[in-house]
Amino acid sequence: MPLGMRIFLVYVLFIGLTGYFVLSTVMEEIRPGVRQSTEETLVDTANLMAEILRDDFKAGTLNQNRWPQLLKAYGERQPKANIWGLPKNQVNHRIYVTDAKGIVVLDSSGMAVGQDYSRWNDVLLTLRGEYGARSSRSDPNDASSSVMHVGAAIRDNGQIIGVVTVAKPNSSLQPYVDRTERRLLAYGAGLIGLGLLFGALLSWWLSAALRRLTAYAQAVSEGRRVEVPHYRGGELEQLASAVEQMRTQLEGKAYVERYVHTLTHELKSPLAAIRGAAELLQGEMPMAQRQRFVSNIDNESARMQQLIERLLNLALVEQRQGLEERVAVPLASLVDELLGAQAARIEGKQLRVEQAIAGDLALMGEPFLLRQALANLLENALDFTPPQGVLRLSAERLGEQVEIKLFNQAEAIPDYALPRLIERFYSLPRPDSGRKSTGLGLNFVEEVAKLHGGGLRIGNVEGGVAVILRLP
């Protein structure tokens, strides 16, 4: 299972369990909380009624006064109130008064007058001077029919002479409880959903970041050129930097070993030639022969210098994982500049140069590398083009790339050599001198093309050889 999925599942489990326990705890506290708040208001109402009814109760005139009619009228009132979106169209309080023996002397419902309520806790405890309250079902088989009762003592000079009880059915509170529970569930579900969405995004981001780093490591292990992923701070950026540093150190060690071996091998021949010529020059010989050996030393020294310079340029490109800059380089002016630099060779061989490059075409990349690559192609073409031959340069836009075609009139490249032309140190003899080059020029061009996201192709065409270079 992917790491991101495992992190997400752990996150889902944590959020789910946390949400479940929090919601269940809060939901369990809603109903008791509402009832506690309601009980607190019943205490206030009962004590208020105890003070209001005290004088009439003490005089024994509760039933002779207007209290029965007032309580009856109270029970019939229709408030038509809207309490936070919930309608209230009737009053729900029941008020009854008992004497010191617990006998009901006044009842707003008119049903219990004369009954003995001394066994009920609201009356029994209040008559004892304690807090009297109870919750009883009006229907023993219906849990939702419970009614809260709170009693308050009627006192005369500190002596309890009666009890006023205010009752309220819990069913009248149920709409508020239900609404609160619905809102809490909705908000809780929304918060859990947002939490899961955040967890999914976090897991996706972390997985994507790790996938990029994994793809980079795999590409490096396969020898492909790829840029190190960039992160904005944190452990991922440190990890990417550590992987890049490790790659650089490992590749650098192997790269240096390979290049030292290659350079040593390639320098053996010119060094042997220089040493042999130097030994011969120590003896007596004709001046013409001495000049020939001196010329050999000069040529071999120049060959060694060219080999070292091209190896350094190639190493610079091969070790790069990306471009240091991307700027627009006008192609036509760049080609004109390179042709001007080779004007002496072109005139010396009386070549006919044809250029068909539009002035608005431009390459995107590093100017130095692009110039070196095109210069290598042009130099290679000049080496193989016979005197009074044709050199043709053209370019066209193909989507997001520019295809540069360099044609030079020359003998066809042998079939066995075509697939090896871009190999390092592989070279064909030059027609003019019969000598081979360093064999690094075309390899350098291919590395530059790859670094820019392009490619290089070489093939025989009618009348000569065509090199096609694609660059962005």
Tell whether domain 327-471 is in CATH 3.30.565.10: yes
Length of the chain: 472
Res. 335 pLDDT band, cuts 50 70 90: confident
CATH, domain 229-322, list 1.10.287.130, 2.120.10.30, 3.30.70.260, 3.40.630.30: 1.10.287.130
- Rounded mean pLDDT, 413-434: 73
pLDDT at 255: 47
Using the predicted structure, report yes or no on whether residue 385 has a pLDDT greater than 90. Answer: no
Tokens of 244: 């890049």
| DSSP SS3 for 111 | coil
- Residue range 3-178, CATH number: 3.30.450.20
Show contacts of 274-281: CB within 8 Å, 24+ apart: 274/300, 274/301
Lookup: tokens for 376: 């290598």
Of 392 and 441, more confident = 392
pLDDT digits 0-9 by tens, 37-74:
888 999 999 999 999 988 888 888 877 668 888 877 77
- The yes-or-no verdict on residue 259 having pLDDT over 90 is no
CA 230 to centroid of chain Cα atoms: 12
Backbone angles phi, psi at 300, to 5 degrees: -70, -35
Asked if 106 and 97 touch (Cβ cutoff 8 Å), the reply is yes
Q: What is the pTM of this model?
A: 0.44
Work out the average pLDDT over 405-432: 77
State the virtual CA torsion across 304, 308, 310, 315 in degrees, nearest 10.
160
Q: Of 157-166, 208-217, 444-453, which one has max mean pLDDT? A: 157-166
Mean pLDDT of 159-176: 87
- What is the C-alpha radius of gyration for the chain, rounded to an integer number of angstroms? 50
Domain coordinates of the chain in residue numbers? 3-178, 229-322, 327-471
Q: How far is CA 130 from CA 43, 117, 333, 369, 434, in A?
A: 13, 16, 106, 98, 124
SS3 146: strand
C-beta of residue 152 within 8 angstroms of C-beta of residue 47 = yes
